[in-house]
Structure formats: C-alpha cells, structure tokens
Structure 1
Amino acid sequence: MNTAPNQTVRVGVDVLDRSELRRLIERPWFLRFGFAREELAHADTLGADRRLEFLTGRFAAKEALLKVLGVGFLQGVTPREICVEHGPHGAPVVHLRGRAAQLTPSSVSVSITHKENVVAAVALSLPSAADAAVESGRTVSTDAKEPANVSPPDINTTATLQQSTPGEQAPEITAFLRVRIGQEEAHYGGDLVDGARILRLFGDLVTEITVRTDGDEGLLAQYSDLRFTAPVKPGDYIEARGRLVRRTRLRRVVELQAHKVLSARPGAGESAGAVLDAPQLVCTAVATTVVPHRRAGTATTPHPVAEEA
C-alpha cells in the first residue's frame, strides 16, 4: 500500500523448513550472528526438537521483519539486532536494536506458525495511528502455536495449577530440582558420573508433574531426544527442570533439561569450587509417562498446554 507516509502498511512473509537450520544452529558463530541473547537463553531451556522449532521460527520472523524494513542481512542489519520474545500471553513481541531500530517506520508486529517441519512468519508494520493502541497492548498479534512457556521456574519446585478462564492461555506446569553430586557417585575413570544419575533426576521431575496433574505417579514409558552434552563430576551442582508440553487422555509428555551451575575445582585446591558464568547444559530429553485410566481426566488443569497436533 502506498498512501500517505504515516498510513503506509508493509507486510513481510517468510517460510523455512526446519532442516535448513538443523546444522547451522549447532555452530556457535551462527548463533552469535543470528539470535539475541534472550532468544538463545530460552532456546537452551528446550529439548532438541523444540529448540530447533523455536530457533527456526525466530529466524523466519527476522527474515519477514527485514522485508518490512526493506533491507537485508548484508545491508547494515544483523539478525541479532531483531529480538523476538514472548509477550505475557505467549504472542511474539518484537524488540529492535541498533540499526534495525533506526529503520523502523512505525510499530511492527509478527506472527509465527508451525506445521510439521515447515515454519512460517508474517511481519506487519502498523500505521502510526495505531501506535498508541499497540503500546497499550490492544493490537499485539496472537499466535496460538507459540505457548507462553518461556520463563524458567523459580529456585523452589513450582507448579501453577490455577483454573484458566475461557480464552486465556493455560498456565504451564513445571518442576525443579537442584542437587549436589557427591563423591560416592563417581562411576567411571576421571571421576565421571554416569548418565543414569541425571535420568533419575528427570524421573523425579516427571513423577512430581504427574502427581500434581493427575494425583498419580504414573508409569514412565520412554525417553526420546536424549542428549548428554557435557560431563558431570563430583562436587558439581546440577539444576534439573521439567515442563509439561502435551497431554492426551492417558499420556503426559514432559520436556527436561539439566544444567551445571557450580563446578568443583580440584586443581585449585581440595575443596575449591566456582560459580559458572553461565549455566552449562549437560543433558536434555523428552519423557512420556502414562497415567492409569481410572485417573485420567482428574487433572487439576482442564486443558493441555497449547501445541499443534
């Protein structure tokens, strides 16, 4: 549309297949180039499959926004200057920095959707007459397939189980554990702790979530997307987190991550330790647990976390 400058509306659309970014997101230089710190911090809390979906969606949104701005990645704007975060109810919210902020013609909005391996994003520059409404939150785009499951749980084990009113995003259900790995748990040469120790933490998280949702411990059926990404040694402090991402009549699917936050430093002294500058991911997995039929439908939250079939 080419009307008066303050009434111009621009639309940008981008479509990506997740396979296009599968290898790129394993390269540190691409992550630094393509994503803001907030986006990477959230991606590190996700399982492998959801992480790929999340980053692909964010990159598609950046491509769509650049089309709205009328520039490319090699014309002075880098993707990390475009940060696509979650709003209070899960809708994508855009924050522009650096040169990207200088080129913004007016308020911008973006929507992201997923279908199997395909991710699509639509960006829209809103007319200046709508700016006030955007800033007050009345015209923020909504995206039912971008759930508001972005904030990590507090230090204590958490699970929000309040009833949702019609039309609101169902609150997430999470669990959290922090443990210190003892010397007696070293299993392999070099004081390495076996991966089963982390899986026991994951099992406790899944059990807590099913007790909270169904009043039953359930039966763990399988792990998928299991990855061990860093060694664990005695003296390390491990934070493990679980998040319910899907519910069916009998099954509960939980995303799990474990991070090392404090590390022993035997080279600096027998009792030396250090707080890591950033939590180090040591393991991710997705767990599926089954609850008895007699308990199905007794959960305290009536709707599953928003997610595509």
Structure 2
Amino acid sequence: MNSPALRVTPVGVDVLDCSELRRLVQRPWFLRFAYAPEELAHAETLGAGRLLEFLAGRFAAKEAVLKVLGVGFLQGVAPREICVQHTSHGAPVVHLRGRAAQLAPSSVSVSITHKQNVVAAVAIGLPPEADAVAADGRRAERKESRAVSPPNDNTTKTTRQDHRDERAPETTAFLRVRIGEEEAHYGGGLVDGARILRLFGDLVTEITIRTDGDEGLLSQYTDLRFTAPVKPGDYIEARGRLLRRTRLRRVVELQAHKVLGARPDAGGSAAAVLDAPQLVCTATATTVVPHRRPAAATAPDHVAEET
C-alpha cells in the first residue's frame, strides 16, 4: 500500500552550545571545511558578538540537514556542500551541492532558533509531490488575489496599508569618500579609526532623519571591529541599514569597504580598483530619538477657534 499518509517525512534536529565552536571558528581550515563561500562572506560583515551565534546556527542547520539526508557527519557529505542562506526577510534557505544534492529529496526546509548560548535547528525533507502541491498552492493563491477585487471599505484599506508596510523597502544610507593626504594620522601613512566612525555617525544621522525627521543622539557602538588599514588615496564606501526600532531607539548595522586603493609603490599618483571590496570596519550603532506625541493630540481645535 503506497498511501501518502504512510509515507515517512524525514526530519532532522540538532542542538548546539555556541561555546563548542568558539575555538574551531578561529581556525581558517575549519571555516573552509564547514562553510560555503556565501556563508563566510556574510560572516565577515558581522560583529564579534553576532559572528559566533551566526556560525553556530549555520553549523546546527547543517547537522540537521545531514540527518534528513540519512548520513552522519563526515560520511560522504562535506558540511560546506550544505549552504544555508537567508531571504530578504531573514528566513533561512537551504542550497545543496555535490554529494548532498544527489542524496536530497526534492527540497529541504530548515528553521534555526537561538536562546542565549544555545542554538537549535530543525530540517524537514519534502517529497517531490509535496513540493509540487505547495508550489501549485502558491501559484493559485497569487492568481486568486489578482482576480478578486477587494471591497472598498475602511477595513480593506487598512489591510492594504499594512501589506504595503510589510513590503516597504528597508531604510538604508550610503556614502563614498576619498581619504585625503591630510587625514594620515599615524606612522606609515595610516588613517585613524575615528575617520571611519565619523562616516558611520553621518549614516546613522541620515537614517534617523529619514525615519523620524530628527537627527537623533548617537548613544553607543557595539561589535566595533577594524579589519583592514586605511591610507590616503583610498576610496571608502560606507553603508548603514536600520535593523530594529523601538519607541525611542534605532539600531543600525554599519559597514565600510575599501573599493579603490592608492599604489605608491607603482608611482606617486598610481591607484587601482580592488578586485573585490575589502571590509575595513563594521559596527552596530544605537541612537536615541525624542518621543513625539501623536499629531492629533497637539493639533489645534479649529471648531473651538471659530466659536
């Protein structure tokens, strides 16, 4: 009897303490063995506090996927062949390569959760027919939403507004500057880290102006990390992205990359475009904005004025 109800859906679960990987992730050979290039590229953009949590979560997800594939660790599938990326909304997505792709069902879904120093991951293998049914359902849902015109009432207007808010583009800011000769502060023509932090401060200010109409007050940097030297003649691209907002605080992720560099060894004015942007600094900033009362509470009472 080949009833769908009797078919087994493979499930894998893994729980990991971050401290178990603390030393291993400091070794380049382990990073190359365990993680895909895309995962390592994203890890380079994270601060020290978030880095270990991210790598541990990805490693737990790989262990869970291996259990779905029915193989143990180091039994024919390299962990780097299981690449766990994320969508624009942060949901993890699994991409399988090499031997892992040959052993996999139609698709594998994974979920990762964090609790203090512990990470857990659950992976589920979907059979081809289940994957096709889900895809058909998504297509039918999109078709139905296009075919049916919503009624014109206040409730529907609110729903449409909420939907637009969910899909609204994230708040970002960008700067590109050339570091001048006058900004060399240390021996060897090195530029001080405070120069990059001034760029970060401008990015945070722009973001709070866009979100709150106020420059805000920068209160702290966390996970600040300088990863490469900056010298006169370098072109620096700095980016900021709003991560989280509360009633009074805005948390912004910041990165600075070197994209062009001076080459004094090749000539007094020689410079070159880097093959790939080089990360020079990363940080997370928290800024405070003033609490503003709703406009309705402070608006003048026109009826009273006319009376």
The within-5 A match list for 1:85-234 is 85-135=85-135, 138=138, 164-165=162-163, 168=166, 171-234=169-232
TM-superposed CA distance for 1:191, in Å, is 0.2
Render the CA deviation track for 1:104-141: whole Å, top value 9, x for unaligned. Answer: 133211111122222111000113320213556849xx
- Report the counterpart of residue 29 of structure 1 in structure 2: 29
The within-5 A match list for 1:13-28 is 13-28=13-28
1:37 and 1:137 mapped to 2: Cα distance? 33
Rate the CA distance shift 1:272–1:137 in 2: closer, same or farther, 3 A.
farther
Using structure 1 for the length normalisation, give the TM-score: 0.80
TM-superposed CA distance for 1:270, in Å, is 1.3
2:9 and 2:55 mapped to 1: Cα distance? 27
- Amino acid of the residue matched to residue 40 of structure 2? L
Higher helix share: 2
Give the 3-state SS of the residue equivalent to 2:83 in structure 1. Answer: strand
TM-superposed CA distance for 1:242, in Å, is 1.2
Rate the CA distance shift 1:100–1:176 in 2: closer, same or farther, 3 A.
same
Alignment gaps of 5+ in structure 2: 140-159, 297-307
1:296 and 1:40 mapped to 2: Cα distance? 44
- Amino acid of the residue matched to residue 96 of structure 1? L
Using the aligned pairs only, state the percent identity: 80
Render the CA deviation track for 1:189-231: whole Å, top value 9, x for unaligned. Answer: 1000001000000000100111111110001111122111211
- Report the counterpart of residue 269 of structure 1 in structure 2: 267
Using structure 2 for the length normalisation, give the TM-score: 0.81
1:297 and 1:195 mapped to 2: Cα distance? 41
Rate the CA distance shift 1:266–1:69 in 2: closer, same or farther, 3 A.
same
Rate the CA distance shift 1:164–1:42 in 2: closer, same or farther, 3 A.
farther
2:238 to 240, 252, 276: 240
- Amino acid of the residue matched to residue 67 of structure 1? K
Question: Are 1:185 and 1:193, in contact at CA under 8 Å, matched by a contact in 2?
Answer: yes
Alignment gaps of 5+ in structure 1: 140-161, 299-309
Asked which structure has the greater CA Rg, the reply is 2
Q: Pairwise CA RMSD of aligned residues?
A: 2.8
TM-superposed CA distance for 1:3, in Å, is 8.0
Render the CA deviation track for 1:220-268: whole Å, top value 9, x for unaligned. Answer: 1111221112111011111111121121111111121111122111111
- Report the counterpart of residue 70 of structure 1 in structure 2: 70
Rate the CA distance shift 1:268–1:6 in 2: closer, same or farther, 3 A.
farther
Deviates more, 1:69-78 or 1:126-135: 126-135
